[in-house]
Amino acid sequence: MSTFETRLSTPASCHITLFHDPTDPCTWVIRKWKKGLFGRRLELSQWFNTKEQAERFANGLIEECEKKLRVHG
């Protein structure tokens, strides 16, 4: 099996992904990317032991991004 990365957020300015390697069941990584002039750059990388922990953290990041978009929108 191969590794995969799934995009969790919809706003273009807030790109949050969930990375998981099926060969290592204890590796769940949330990454937050920031859009820059020459593409995107990694702003945050947080590792978790379970998918539930990772998704809970990602949902908090997504809510935070959506709040910023509403305020600055």
pLDDT at 72: 67
Mean pLDDT by 10 residues, the chain (73 residues): 73 83 91 85 94 95 84 67
Calculate ∠ Cα 24-30-44, nearest 5°.
130
pLDDT at 1: 39
CATH at residue 18 = 3.10.450
Rounded to two decimals, the pTM is: 0.81
pLDDT at 13: 67
**Residues making up the chain, counted from first to last:** 73
Number of domains in the chain: 1
Read off the tokens for 60: 């908090």
- 29 strand-pairing partners: 19, 47
